[in-house]
Structure 1
Amino acid sequence: MSRGLLVLVGLSAAACSMSAMNVHELVSALADPDVLRARCRALTLLDVVLDGFAPKHGYFPGWREGVDLATMESGSGDLYGIVFDPAGVFLYGFDHECDATPWREWPRAHWPGLLEGLPAALARYPADPELQFEGFFDVTVCAWRETGATSWQCGPVVFGLGESDGAGWLFGVLTDGSAEAVCSDAEDYYERPVDRQAVAALLAGAPLDPRTVGALNPAADFEAMAERARLLGYAVADA
Protein backbone atom coordinates (compact mmCIF):
# COMPACT_ATOMS: atom_id res chain seq x y z
CA MET A 1 0.00 0.00 0.00
CA SER A 2 1.38 3.42 -0.94
CA ARG A 3 2.24 6.02 1.67
CA GLY A 4 -0.43 8.39 0.30
CA LEU A 5 -3.09 5.69 0.52
CA LEU A 6 -2.02 4.86 4.06
CA VAL A 7 -2.48 8.51 5.03
CA LEU A 8 -5.94 8.60 3.47
CA VAL A 9 -6.92 5.38 5.25
CA GLY A 10 -5.66 6.81 8.54
CA LEU A 11 -7.60 10.04 8.09
CA SER A 12 -10.73 8.11 7.14
CA ALA A 13 -10.46 5.88 10.20
CA ALA A 14 -9.94 8.90 12.46
CA ALA A 15 -12.96 10.63 10.93
CA CYS A 16 -15.14 7.54 11.43
CA SER A 17 -13.99 7.23 15.04
CA MET A 18 -14.71 10.90 15.69
CA SER A 19 -18.16 10.78 14.10
CA ALA A 20 -19.09 7.78 16.28
CA MET A 21 -18.18 9.65 19.48
CA ASN A 22 -20.95 10.16 22.03
CA VAL A 23 -20.96 12.45 25.06
CA HIS A 24 -19.08 9.94 27.23
CA GLU A 25 -16.14 10.04 24.80
CA LEU A 26 -16.61 13.77 24.31
CA VAL A 27 -15.96 14.63 27.96
CA SER A 28 -12.62 12.83 27.71
CA ALA A 29 -11.71 14.54 24.43
CA LEU A 30 -12.60 18.15 25.29
CA ALA A 31 -9.73 20.55 25.95
CA ASP A 32 -9.41 22.61 29.11
CA PRO A 33 -11.74 25.65 29.17
CA ASP A 34 -9.06 28.24 28.33
CA VAL A 35 -7.91 26.21 25.32
CA LEU A 36 -11.49 25.63 24.24
CA ARG A 37 -12.30 29.35 24.49
CA ALA A 38 -9.24 30.29 22.40
CA ARG A 39 -10.18 27.68 19.81
CA CYS A 40 -13.72 29.05 19.58
CA ARG A 41 -12.38 32.57 19.05
CA ALA A 42 -10.04 31.34 16.32
CA LEU A 43 -12.80 29.46 14.50
CA THR A 44 -15.01 32.53 14.59
CA LEU A 45 -12.26 34.81 13.32
CA LEU A 46 -11.50 32.35 10.53
CA ASP A 47 -15.13 32.53 9.41
CA VAL A 48 -15.11 36.33 9.61
CA VAL A 49 -12.08 36.54 7.32
CA LEU A 50 -13.28 33.86 4.90
CA ASP A 51 -16.86 35.09 4.62
CA GLY A 52 -18.31 37.48 7.17
CA PHE A 53 -21.77 37.30 5.59
CA ALA A 54 -22.56 33.65 6.37
CA PRO A 55 -20.32 32.53 9.25
CA LYS A 56 -20.63 29.04 10.69
CA HIS A 57 -19.14 29.95 14.07
CA GLY A 58 -19.85 32.83 16.42
CA TYR A 59 -18.24 34.20 19.57
CA PHE A 60 -20.04 36.76 21.70
CA PRO A 61 -18.03 38.37 24.52
CA GLY A 62 -20.29 39.73 27.24
CA TRP A 63 -23.33 37.76 26.06
CA ARG A 64 -24.44 38.01 29.67
CA GLU A 65 -22.65 40.02 32.36
CA GLY A 66 -19.28 38.32 32.77
CA VAL A 67 -20.36 35.50 30.45
CA ASP A 68 -19.23 34.70 26.89
CA LEU A 69 -21.06 32.49 24.40
CA ALA A 70 -19.56 30.52 21.50
CA THR A 71 -21.85 29.06 18.85
CA MET A 72 -21.88 26.92 15.72
CA GLU A 73 -24.71 26.55 13.20
CA SER A 74 -24.21 24.06 10.38
CA GLY A 75 -26.78 25.60 8.05
CA SER A 76 -28.76 22.35 7.99
CA GLY A 77 -30.34 22.45 11.44
CA ASP A 78 -27.46 21.26 13.61
CA LEU A 79 -25.87 23.56 16.17
CA TYR A 80 -23.94 23.89 19.40
CA GLY A 81 -23.35 26.48 22.07
CA ILE A 82 -20.71 26.85 24.76
CA VAL A 83 -21.36 29.16 27.68
CA PHE A 84 -18.23 30.44 29.45
CA ASP A 85 -19.45 31.49 32.90
CA PRO A 86 -17.26 32.43 35.89
CA ALA A 87 -18.82 29.41 37.63
CA GLY A 88 -17.82 27.04 34.84
CA VAL A 89 -18.51 26.05 31.25
CA PHE A 90 -21.80 24.66 29.93
CA LEU A 91 -21.73 22.97 26.53
CA TYR A 92 -24.72 21.79 24.52
CA GLY A 93 -25.48 20.62 21.01
CA PHE A 94 -28.33 19.56 18.77
CA ASP A 95 -28.07 17.01 15.96
CA HIS A 96 -31.48 16.89 14.28
CA GLU A 97 -30.92 13.43 12.77
CA CYS A 98 -29.54 11.56 15.79
CA ASP A 99 -31.38 9.05 17.98
CA ALA A 100 -31.38 11.37 20.98
CA THR A 101 -33.37 14.13 19.31
CA PRO A 102 -36.16 15.46 21.55
CA TRP A 103 -38.40 15.27 18.46
CA ARG A 104 -38.44 11.47 18.65
CA GLU A 105 -41.66 11.83 20.66
CA TRP A 106 -44.34 14.42 21.37
CA PRO A 107 -44.35 16.44 23.46
CA ARG A 108 -40.60 16.77 23.09
CA ALA A 109 -38.48 15.16 25.78
CA HIS A 110 -34.76 15.00 26.52
CA TRP A 111 -32.89 11.72 26.31
CA PRO A 112 -33.06 10.16 29.81
CA GLY A 113 -30.28 11.46 32.07
CA LEU A 114 -29.21 14.26 29.72
CA LEU A 115 -29.21 17.04 32.34
CA GLU A 116 -28.96 14.90 35.46
CA GLY A 117 -26.15 16.15 37.70
CA LEU A 118 -25.93 19.60 36.11
CA PRO A 119 -24.48 21.88 38.84
CA ALA A 120 -26.83 24.46 40.32
CA ALA A 121 -24.44 27.26 39.29
CA LEU A 122 -25.02 26.39 35.61
CA ALA A 123 -28.61 25.14 35.82
CA ARG A 124 -30.14 28.41 34.62
CA TYR A 125 -28.89 28.02 31.07
CA PRO A 126 -31.28 25.28 29.86
CA ALA A 127 -34.08 27.61 31.00
CA ASP A 128 -32.69 30.67 29.19
CA PRO A 129 -35.21 31.63 26.47
CA GLU A 130 -32.40 32.65 24.11
CA LEU A 131 -31.05 29.09 24.18
CA GLN A 132 -34.44 27.48 23.67
CA PHE A 133 -36.49 26.71 20.57
CA GLU A 134 -40.22 27.30 20.90
CA GLY A 135 -40.01 27.22 24.68
CA PHE A 136 -37.93 24.04 24.96
CA PHE A 137 -34.20 23.43 25.42
CA ASP A 138 -33.84 21.56 22.15
CA VAL A 139 -30.59 19.59 22.55
CA THR A 140 -29.21 16.08 22.15
CA VAL A 141 -25.90 16.40 24.00
CA CYS A 142 -24.76 18.33 27.11
CA ALA A 143 -21.55 18.50 29.12
CA TRP A 144 -20.16 20.84 31.74
CA ARG A 145 -17.12 21.67 33.80
CA GLU A 146 -17.24 23.69 36.99
CA THR A 147 -14.49 26.20 37.73
CA GLY A 148 -11.75 24.45 39.66
CA ALA A 149 -12.73 20.98 38.42
CA THR A 150 -10.14 18.89 36.63
CA SER A 151 -12.45 17.12 34.19
CA TRP A 152 -15.60 17.51 32.13
CA GLN A 153 -18.82 15.84 33.23
CA CYS A 154 -22.08 14.72 31.64
CA GLY A 155 -25.32 13.11 32.73
CA PRO A 156 -25.71 9.30 33.02
CA VAL A 157 -27.11 8.86 29.52
CA VAL A 158 -27.16 5.35 28.07
CA PHE A 159 -27.10 4.45 24.39
CA GLY A 160 -27.86 1.16 22.72
CA LEU A 161 -25.81 -0.34 19.93
CA GLY A 162 -25.77 2.08 17.03
CA GLU A 163 -27.55 4.87 18.92
CA SER A 164 -26.03 8.35 18.88
CA ASP A 165 -26.40 11.82 20.39
CA GLY A 166 -24.45 13.53 17.60
CA ALA A 167 -21.50 14.51 19.79
CA GLY A 168 -18.92 13.39 17.25
CA TRP A 169 -20.60 15.12 14.33
CA LEU A 170 -21.07 18.34 16.28
CA PHE A 171 -17.82 18.63 18.22
CA GLY A 172 -15.33 16.55 16.24
CA VAL A 173 -13.51 19.53 14.73
CA LEU A 174 -13.47 21.40 18.04
CA THR A 175 -12.01 18.46 19.95
CA ASP A 176 -9.47 17.67 17.21
CA GLY A 177 -8.27 21.26 17.06
CA SER A 178 -5.75 20.65 14.28
CA ALA A 179 -5.28 22.94 11.30
CA GLU A 180 -6.01 20.03 8.98
CA ALA A 181 -9.36 19.25 10.62
CA VAL A 182 -10.37 22.92 10.71
CA CYS A 183 -9.35 23.50 7.08
CA SER A 184 -11.17 20.41 5.88
CA ASP A 185 -14.35 21.53 7.64
CA ALA A 186 -14.06 25.10 6.33
CA GLU A 187 -13.40 23.91 2.78
CA ASP A 188 -16.47 21.71 2.92
CA TYR A 189 -18.62 24.57 4.25
CA TYR A 190 -17.35 27.39 2.02
CA GLU A 191 -16.45 25.22 -0.99
CA ARG A 192 -13.06 26.86 -1.51
CA PRO A 193 -9.42 26.12 -0.61
CA VAL A 194 -8.25 27.33 2.80
CA ASP A 195 -4.60 28.08 3.61
CA ARG A 196 -3.26 25.62 6.21
CA GLN A 197 -0.45 27.83 7.46
CA ALA A 198 -2.79 30.77 8.07
CA VAL A 199 -5.26 28.57 9.94
CA ALA A 200 -2.47 27.12 12.06
CA ALA A 201 -1.44 30.66 12.99
CA LEU A 202 -4.97 31.51 14.15
CA LEU A 203 -5.27 28.30 16.16
CA ALA A 204 -1.93 29.06 17.81
CA GLY A 205 -3.21 32.49 18.85
CA ALA A 206 -0.67 34.38 16.74
CA PRO A 207 -1.66 38.07 16.51
CA LEU A 208 -3.66 38.72 13.37
CA ASP A 209 -1.54 40.33 10.67
CA PRO A 210 -1.99 41.33 7.01
CA ARG A 211 -0.18 38.23 5.76
CA THR A 212 -2.60 35.86 7.50
CA VAL A 213 -5.65 37.80 6.32
CA GLY A 214 -4.32 37.95 2.76
CA ALA A 215 -3.59 34.23 2.68
CA LEU A 216 -7.14 33.44 3.75
CA ASN A 217 -8.97 36.05 1.70
CA PRO A 218 -7.08 38.43 -0.62
CA ALA A 219 -10.22 40.55 -0.98
CA ALA A 220 -10.60 41.16 2.77
CA ASP A 221 -9.74 44.57 4.21
CA PHE A 222 -7.17 44.10 6.96
CA GLU A 223 -8.28 47.03 9.10
CA ALA A 224 -11.87 45.82 9.04
CA MET A 225 -10.74 42.31 9.99
CA ALA A 226 -8.50 43.70 12.73
CA GLU A 227 -11.45 45.58 14.24
CA ARG A 228 -13.56 42.42 14.22
CA ALA A 229 -10.70 40.51 15.85
CA ARG A 230 -10.43 43.07 18.65
CA LEU A 231 -14.16 42.79 19.30
CA LEU A 232 -13.71 39.04 19.71
CA GLY A 233 -10.85 39.57 22.14
CA TYR A 234 -8.31 38.21 19.63
CA ALA A 235 -4.88 39.87 19.48
CA VAL A 236 -3.88 42.01 16.49
CA ALA A 237 -0.28 42.60 15.40
CA ASP A 238 1.13 46.11 15.74
CA ALA A 239 1.21 48.08 12.51
Structure 2
Amino acid sequence: MGEVSVGCGRKSGMNSAELARMLPGISEVRRRSVVLAVLEGVTGGDHPRYSFDAGWREGAALASMADGSGNEYSIVFADEGALVIGFDHESEMNPYGNGSQALWPGLLLGLPPELVRWAEDPRFVEDGVLCATLCLWRTPGSTAWGAGPISYPEDGDGAGWLFRGLLGCSPELYASWATNVHGAPPDVEAVRAVFDGHPLTPALALRMNPAYDTASLDPLLELTGYGPVAAG
Protein backbone atom coordinates (compact mmCIF):
# COMPACT_ATOMS: atom_id res chain seq x y z
CA MET A 1 0.00 0.00 0.00
CA GLY A 2 2.08 2.93 1.23
CA GLU A 3 2.11 6.15 -0.74
CA VAL A 4 1.76 4.31 -4.03
CA SER A 5 -1.46 2.48 -3.28
CA VAL A 6 -3.58 4.94 -5.20
CA GLY A 7 -2.58 7.70 -7.57
CA CYS A 8 1.12 6.89 -7.91
CA GLY A 9 3.24 4.35 -9.72
CA ARG A 10 0.90 4.48 -12.71
CA LYS A 11 3.22 2.69 -15.13
CA SER A 12 4.18 -0.24 -12.94
CA GLY A 13 3.96 -2.72 -15.80
CA MET A 14 1.32 -4.96 -14.23
CA ASN A 15 -1.85 -5.53 -16.22
CA SER A 16 -5.13 -7.23 -15.34
CA ALA A 17 -3.94 -10.65 -16.52
CA GLU A 18 -1.06 -10.42 -14.05
CA LEU A 19 -3.34 -9.03 -11.36
CA ALA A 20 -5.55 -12.09 -11.83
CA ARG A 21 -2.61 -14.30 -10.89
CA MET A 22 -1.80 -12.24 -7.80
CA LEU A 23 -5.25 -11.85 -6.26
CA PRO A 24 -6.19 -14.33 -3.52
CA GLY A 25 -9.53 -16.15 -3.46
CA ILE A 26 -12.91 -14.46 -3.25
CA SER A 27 -13.28 -14.78 0.53
CA GLU A 28 -9.86 -13.24 1.21
CA VAL A 29 -10.44 -10.40 -1.25
CA ARG A 30 -13.72 -9.71 0.53
CA ARG A 31 -12.07 -9.82 3.97
CA ARG A 32 -9.38 -7.35 2.91
CA SER A 33 -11.99 -5.11 1.32
CA VAL A 34 -14.02 -4.98 4.54
CA VAL A 35 -10.90 -4.24 6.59
CA LEU A 36 -9.88 -1.36 4.32
CA ALA A 37 -13.40 0.06 4.37
CA VAL A 38 -13.63 -0.08 8.16
CA LEU A 39 -10.21 1.53 8.58
CA GLU A 40 -11.07 4.27 6.10
CA GLY A 41 -14.45 4.79 7.73
CA VAL A 42 -12.62 5.62 10.95
CA THR A 43 -9.54 7.45 9.65
CA GLY A 44 -10.73 8.86 6.33
CA GLY A 45 -12.97 11.66 7.58
CA ASP A 46 -15.42 12.92 4.97
CA HIS A 47 -13.47 11.46 2.07
CA PRO A 48 -12.66 7.78 2.65
CA ARG A 49 -10.96 6.13 -0.31
CA TYR A 50 -12.31 2.65 0.41
CA SER A 51 -15.89 1.61 1.18
CA PHE A 52 -17.91 -1.58 1.53
CA ASP A 53 -21.68 -2.07 1.39
CA ALA A 54 -22.64 -5.53 2.63
CA GLY A 55 -26.27 -5.03 1.55
CA TRP A 56 -25.69 -3.26 -1.77
CA ARG A 57 -28.09 -5.43 -3.76
CA GLU A 58 -30.17 -8.47 -2.87
CA GLY A 59 -27.64 -11.29 -2.67
CA ALA A 60 -24.67 -9.03 -3.42
CA ALA A 61 -22.15 -6.83 -1.58
CA LEU A 62 -19.99 -4.10 -3.12
CA ALA A 63 -16.43 -3.03 -2.34
CA SER A 64 -15.29 0.27 -3.81
CA MET A 65 -12.20 2.45 -4.09
CA ALA A 66 -12.24 6.00 -5.45
CA ASP A 67 -9.23 8.31 -5.39
CA GLY A 68 -11.18 11.53 -5.94
CA SER A 69 -9.58 12.11 -9.34
CA GLY A 70 -11.82 9.89 -11.44
CA ASN A 71 -9.95 6.63 -10.89
CA GLU A 72 -11.78 3.83 -9.13
CA TYR A 73 -12.58 0.18 -8.80
CA SER A 74 -15.58 -1.83 -7.70
CA ILE A 75 -15.82 -5.47 -6.68
CA VAL A 76 -19.18 -7.21 -6.66
CA PHE A 77 -19.44 -10.18 -4.29
CA ALA A 78 -22.53 -12.14 -5.30
CA ASP A 79 -23.90 -15.64 -4.90
CA GLU A 80 -22.78 -16.29 -8.49
CA GLY A 81 -19.19 -15.25 -7.81
CA ALA A 82 -17.20 -12.02 -7.91
CA LEU A 83 -16.70 -9.35 -10.56
CA VAL A 84 -13.86 -6.80 -10.45
CA ILE A 85 -14.28 -3.58 -12.44
CA GLY A 86 -11.42 -1.07 -12.60
CA PHE A 87 -11.32 2.34 -14.25
CA ASP A 88 -8.16 4.36 -14.94
CA HIS A 89 -9.44 7.52 -16.59
CA GLU A 90 -6.04 8.33 -18.13
CA SER A 91 -5.62 4.90 -19.71
CA GLU A 92 -5.88 4.55 -23.46
CA MET A 93 -8.44 1.83 -22.68
CA ASN A 94 -10.89 4.40 -21.26
CA PRO A 95 -14.00 3.93 -23.44
CA TYR A 96 -14.77 7.64 -23.15
CA GLY A 97 -11.25 8.94 -23.64
CA ASN A 98 -10.78 7.82 -27.23
CA GLY A 99 -14.13 9.09 -28.52
CA SER A 100 -15.39 5.63 -29.44
CA GLN A 101 -17.53 5.01 -26.34
CA ALA A 102 -16.76 1.32 -26.78
CA LEU A 103 -15.09 -1.18 -24.48
CA TRP A 104 -11.55 -2.22 -25.28
CA PRO A 105 -11.63 -5.33 -27.50
CA GLY A 106 -11.75 -8.54 -25.48
CA LEU A 107 -12.36 -6.88 -22.12
CA LEU A 108 -15.42 -8.99 -21.30
CA LEU A 109 -14.66 -11.97 -23.51
CA GLY A 110 -15.08 -15.08 -21.36
CA LEU A 111 -17.19 -13.42 -18.67
CA PRO A 112 -19.38 -16.18 -17.18
CA PRO A 113 -23.05 -15.72 -18.17
CA GLU A 114 -24.16 -15.73 -14.54
CA LEU A 115 -22.06 -12.60 -13.88
CA VAL A 116 -23.17 -10.61 -16.94
CA ARG A 117 -26.03 -8.95 -15.08
CA TRP A 118 -23.57 -7.36 -12.67
CA ALA A 119 -21.51 -5.91 -15.52
CA GLU A 120 -24.77 -4.38 -16.79
CA ASP A 121 -25.78 -2.88 -13.44
CA PRO A 122 -26.57 0.85 -13.74
CA ARG A 123 -23.99 1.56 -11.02
CA PHE A 124 -21.22 0.81 -13.52
CA VAL A 125 -22.75 1.91 -16.83
CA GLU A 126 -22.82 5.36 -18.40
CA ASP A 127 -24.56 6.06 -21.71
CA GLY A 128 -24.93 2.33 -22.22
CA VAL A 129 -21.21 1.62 -21.83
CA LEU A 130 -19.46 -0.10 -18.91
CA CYS A 131 -17.08 2.36 -17.22
CA ALA A 132 -14.08 0.05 -17.21
CA THR A 133 -10.52 -0.30 -18.35
CA LEU A 134 -10.18 -3.71 -16.69
CA CYS A 135 -12.41 -6.57 -15.60
CA LEU A 136 -11.73 -9.77 -13.70
CA TRP A 137 -14.12 -12.46 -12.55
CA ARG A 138 -14.28 -15.62 -10.52
CA THR A 139 -17.06 -18.11 -9.83
CA PRO A 140 -17.36 -20.16 -6.62
CA GLY A 141 -16.22 -23.36 -8.31
CA SER A 142 -13.20 -21.92 -10.12
CA THR A 143 -9.62 -21.98 -8.85
CA ALA A 144 -8.41 -18.75 -10.46
CA TRP A 145 -9.53 -15.30 -11.53
CA GLY A 146 -10.42 -14.90 -15.18
CA ALA A 147 -9.65 -12.05 -17.57
CA GLY A 148 -10.34 -11.43 -21.23
CA PRO A 149 -7.67 -12.02 -23.90
CA ILE A 150 -6.49 -8.45 -24.36
CA SER A 151 -3.75 -6.72 -26.30
CA TYR A 152 -2.73 -4.05 -23.79
CA PRO A 153 -1.64 -0.54 -24.75
CA GLU A 154 1.68 0.82 -23.53
CA ASP A 155 0.13 2.75 -20.66
CA GLY A 156 -1.77 -0.31 -19.39
CA ASP A 157 -5.21 -0.63 -17.86
CA GLY A 158 -4.65 0.69 -14.33
CA ALA A 159 -4.14 -2.70 -12.68
CA GLY A 160 -0.57 -1.79 -11.79
CA TRP A 161 -1.60 0.84 -9.28
CA LEU A 162 -5.34 0.81 -8.62
CA PHE A 163 -5.11 -2.38 -6.57
CA ARG A 164 -1.89 -1.73 -4.64
CA GLY A 165 -3.82 -1.30 -1.40
CA LEU A 166 -5.72 -4.54 -1.82
CA LEU A 167 -2.60 -6.51 -2.72
CA GLY A 168 -0.23 -4.90 -0.23
CA CYS A 169 -2.50 -4.97 2.80
CA SER A 170 -0.64 -4.73 6.13
CA PRO A 171 -1.12 -2.69 9.31
CA GLU A 172 2.18 -0.86 8.91
CA LEU A 173 1.63 0.07 5.28
CA TYR A 174 -1.93 1.18 5.91
CA ALA A 175 -0.87 3.36 8.84
CA SER A 176 1.87 4.97 6.73
CA TRP A 177 -0.49 5.52 3.81
CA ALA A 178 -3.26 6.96 6.02
CA THR A 179 -0.77 9.36 7.58
CA ASN A 180 0.28 10.62 4.15
CA VAL A 181 -3.24 10.87 2.76
CA HIS A 182 -5.32 11.91 5.77
CA GLY A 183 -2.68 13.83 7.71
CA ALA A 184 -2.87 12.05 11.07
CA PRO A 185 -0.99 8.87 12.08
CA PRO A 186 -3.28 6.09 13.34
CA ASP A 187 -2.05 3.82 16.11
CA VAL A 188 -0.49 0.84 14.31
CA GLU A 189 -1.53 -1.69 16.95
CA ALA A 190 -5.13 -0.49 16.74
CA VAL A 191 -4.97 -0.91 12.97
CA ARG A 192 -3.51 -4.38 13.49
CA ALA A 193 -6.45 -5.31 15.71
CA VAL A 194 -8.84 -4.55 12.84
CA PHE A 195 -6.68 -6.52 10.41
CA ASP A 196 -6.87 -9.45 12.82
CA GLY A 197 -10.66 -9.22 13.09
CA HIS A 198 -10.95 -8.12 16.72
CA PRO A 199 -14.11 -6.27 17.83
CA LEU A 200 -13.87 -2.59 16.93
CA THR A 201 -14.62 -0.71 20.14
CA PRO A 202 -15.06 3.05 20.46
CA ALA A 203 -11.78 3.18 22.38
CA LEU A 204 -10.00 1.32 19.57
CA ALA A 205 -11.48 3.66 16.97
CA LEU A 206 -10.26 6.70 18.90
CA ARG A 207 -6.73 5.29 18.96
CA MET A 208 -6.84 5.34 15.17
CA ASN A 209 -8.48 8.76 14.96
CA PRO A 210 -8.91 10.87 18.12
CA ALA A 211 -11.35 13.12 16.23
CA TYR A 212 -13.63 10.25 15.19
CA ASP A 213 -17.31 10.56 16.09
CA THR A 214 -17.95 7.24 17.79
CA ALA A 215 -21.70 7.66 17.20
CA SER A 216 -20.86 6.72 13.60
CA LEU A 217 -19.34 3.40 14.61
CA ASP A 218 -22.47 1.24 14.76
CA PRO A 219 -23.68 2.41 11.32
CA LEU A 220 -20.21 1.78 9.86
CA LEU A 221 -20.05 -1.75 11.23
CA GLU A 222 -23.56 -2.50 10.03
CA LEU A 223 -22.83 -1.13 6.55
CA THR A 224 -19.63 -3.10 6.12
CA GLY A 225 -20.73 -6.24 7.92
CA TYR A 226 -17.55 -6.18 10.00
CA GLY A 227 -19.40 -7.17 13.16
CA PRO A 228 -21.23 -5.73 16.17
CA VAL A 229 -19.54 -2.99 18.14
CA ALA A 230 -18.11 -4.14 21.46
CA ALA A 231 -18.52 -2.19 24.68
CA GLY A 232 -15.64 -0.14 26.00
TM-score bin (small chain): 0.7 to 0.9
Unpaired segments ≥5 residues, structure 2: none
Q: Would you tell me which structure has more helix in proportion to its own residues? A: 1
- Structure 1 partner of 2:222: 230
Unpaired segments ≥5 residues, structure 1: 1-10
1:121-143 CA-to-partner distances (Å, cap 9, x unmatched) read: 00112221121133321110110
User: Normalising by structure 2, what TM-score?
Assistant: 0.88
The Cα shift of 1:18 comes to: 9.1
Q: How many angstroms apart in 1 are the aligned matches of 2:209 and 2:127? A: 38
Q: 1:28 to 1:102 in 2, by over 3 A?
A: same
Partner of residue 96 from structure 1, selected from 82, 89, 102 = 89
- Structure 2 partner of 1:188: 180
Superposition RMSD on alpha carbons, in Å? 2.2
> Are 2:77 and 1:84 equivalent residues in the alignment?
yes
The Cα shift of 1:31 comes to: 1.7
Relative contact order, higher structure (CA 8 A, sep 6+) = 2
1:157-190 CA-to-partner distances (Å, cap 9, x unmatched) read: 1225x33100021111101222233233323331
Matches within 5 A, 1:43-192: 43-160=36-153, 162-192=154-184
Partner of residue 214 from structure 1, selected from 206, 213, 217 = 206
The one-letter code matched in structure 1 to 2:212 is A
Q: How many angstroms apart in 2 are the aligned matches of 1:133 and 1:194? A: 37
Secondary structure at the counterpart of residue 102 of structure 1:
coil
Q: How many angstroms apart in 2 are the aligned matches of 1:108 and 1:205? A: 42
The one-letter code matched in structure 1 to 2:196 is A
> Are 2:34 and 1:41 equivalent residues in the alignment?
yes
Secondary structure at the counterpart of residue 76 of structure 2:
strand
The structure with the larger Rg is 1
Conserved in 2, the CA contact under 8 Å of 1:230 and 1:236?
A: yes
Conserved in 1, the CA contact under 8 Å of 2:39 and 2:194?
A: yes
The Cα shift of 1:231 comes to: 3.2
